[in-house]
Amino acid sequence: MNKSKIYYLTYQDFPAYTANSQQTISTCKYLAKNDITIKLIFPLRSLNSSADLNNIFDFYNFKEKLFTVMGLPFHGKFQSRYFKKFNYLYKHILWSYYAVNTILSKDNLPDAFITRSDWIFYFLSRKNLNVTYECHKLTKLRKFLMAKSIKYKNSKIIFLNNKLMFDSGIKNFNKNKILIQNGGYDEEFFQKKYKKNHNSVIFTGNLYRLGKERNLKFVIEAFQDKRLKDFNLKIIGGSKVDLIKFNNEFSDVKNVTFKNYLPKNLLAIELGLSEIGLLINDNNYHSMHHTDPLKYYEYIASELKIIATDFPSHREFEKNSNIVFFDHNNSESFINALLKISENNFLLDENIQITTQDQRVKNIISFIL
């Protein structure tokens, strides 16, 4: 019996430090592990872009080459100092149109497409091909494109949570067109247990999100409070430039340290040795209502207690007895929450079902094929 074939055709950059690139790579990885033939196709849109298999799999810490990749040339040199915000959109549209037509000009098309590009979703939908869009964030234009695309017979959408689906305006379609599927952790890296360092707090991820600082500065300043003198905060992630900036600004805060991006096997060790994980973001609508952070699943897999900004998106996790909330940008609330969670014992709650990437991908396979 021939294996099913899926193309993950997307307007993302690889390799990259971002959580979205890691999530896409992990999805491809577990599609392959579930006996699907996978090809990841993306634009060579930056100096760091690479379609070299060795570069891709080394960067993402793969033990074996599980799928193939294709980097398509990035066309579109349009630049305007007056319309900078349209540069990305223009290039996205142009490349998506080019990529779809290039792929469709070849024989032996796949059984299905997956994408995180709303424009690729739109162009493939118009061809009435089996295409699934993974929606992680909303814009007015994206909502318009999804509303147009989902009307086609073979088009489907995956939402991270119900709130994201509700706000998209797409909620009355047959359930075989819509899947609510939360994130998950890569179980290959989170199996070993470690002895925890008491009062050790960790944050993983970029220091900036959607162009804005993640509100980490007020947390770092809170660690100067004498009540937290026995606590240590480790921040792992971000570019070298961002880390230098933070290091210079907070050089006098001795119980906060910064590390550059780590591959998943080394990050899993850092998480395993830590006791408390930090979930924090700026108070934009997406962070407050739509986000489903990868780090949450990795924190739980590493048996961390969690301290989180009191946002509705984080309240989705409140049935977890190992989480305590603090008010946004409130140092006193943060300090009290941290002191409280440090005194609580970690409870391995069997009722908390944390999704693995393998479970997540199995659901996606059933949905799209």
Indicate if 125 and 261 belong to the same structural domain: no
Specify if 45 maps to a domain.
yes
Same domain membership, residue 213 and residue 98? no
Q: Are residues 132 and 245 in the same domain?
A: no
Same domain, 14 and 154: yes
What share of the chain has pLDDT > 70, as a percent? Answer: 94
Q: Which amino acid is located at 193 in the chain?
A: K
Instruction: Give the CATH number for residue 175.
Output: 3.40.50.2000
- The highest-confidence range among 78-82, 126-130, 321-325, by mean pLDDT, is 126-130
Residues facing 209 on adjacent strands: 212
Phi, psi of 72 (to 5 degrees): -95, 140
Residues 166 and 117 in one domain: yes
Tally DSSP H helices, then E strands, for the chain. Answer: 14, 15
Predicted confidence band at 320 (pLDDT cuts at 50, 70, 90)? confident
Q: Which pLDDT score, from 0 to 100, does residue 84 have?
A: 66
Does some domain include residue 154? yes
| Predicted pLDDT of residue 318 | 65
| pLDDT tier, 22 (very low <50, low <70, confident <90, very high otherwise) | very high
Mean pLDDT, to the nearest integer, of 307-323?
Answer: 84
Residue 191 falls inside a structural domain = no
Q: What is the mean pLDDT of residues 212-237?
A: 90
The residue segments making up the domain with residue 151 are: 5-184+357-368
Residue 191 or 273, more confident: 273
Residue 268 lies in a domain: yes
Looking at the predicted structure, is the pLDDT value of residue 306 above 90? yes
Domain match, 173 and 264 both: no
Q: For residue range 93-119, what is the model confidence (pLDDT) as tens digits?
A: 999 999 999 999 987 899 999 999 999
Question: Confidence band (pLDDT; 50, 70, 90) for 210?
Answer: low
Confidence (pLDDT) at 76: 58
Residue 190 lies in a domain: no
Would you state the pLDDT for residue 83? 61
For residue 254, what are its two tokens? 């001795």
Do residues 167 and 28 share a domain? yes
Helix, strand, coil shares, percent, the chain, to 5: 40, 20, 45
pLDDT at 121: 98
Would you list the DSSP string of 108-154? S--SEEEES-HHHHHHHHHTT--EEEEE----HHHHHHHHHHTTSTT
Reported confidence tier of residue 145, pLDDT bands at 50, 70, 90: very high
Q: Is the pLDDT of residue 78 over 60?
A: no
Residue that wins the pLDDT comparison between 1 and 135:
135
What is the domain count for the chain?
2
If asked whether residues 115 and 11 sit together in one domain, one would say yes
Question: How confident is the prediction for the chain on average, in pLDDT?
Answer: 89
Q: In this predicted model, which residue has the larger pLDDT, 240 or 180?
A: 180
Pair (81, 212) in one structural domain: no
Mean pLDDT of 296-311: 93
According to DSSP, the β-strands at 178-180 and 112-115 are unpaired
Q: How many CB atoms lie within 10 A of CB 104?
A: 12
Of 121-125, 242-246, 330-334, give the lowest mean pLDDT range.
242-246
Residues 250 and 279 in one domain: yes
Whether 290 shows a pLDDT value over 60: the answer reads yes
> Are 76 and 113 in a shared domain?
yes
- 261 falls within a domain: yes
Give domain status of residue 18, yes or no: yes
248: pLDDT strictly greater than 90: no
Q: How far apart are CA 19 and CA 17, in angstroms?
A: 7
302 forms bridges with which residues in the sheet?
A: none
How many Å apart are CA 324 and CA 79, to the nearest integer?
A: 46
Whether 194 is covered by a domain: the verdict is: no
- Give the model's pLDDT for residue 214: 76
Q: Does residue 22 sit in the same domain as residue 55?
A: yes
The residue among 100, 94, 98 whose CA lies nearest residue 115 is 100
pLDDT of 30 higher than 80: yes
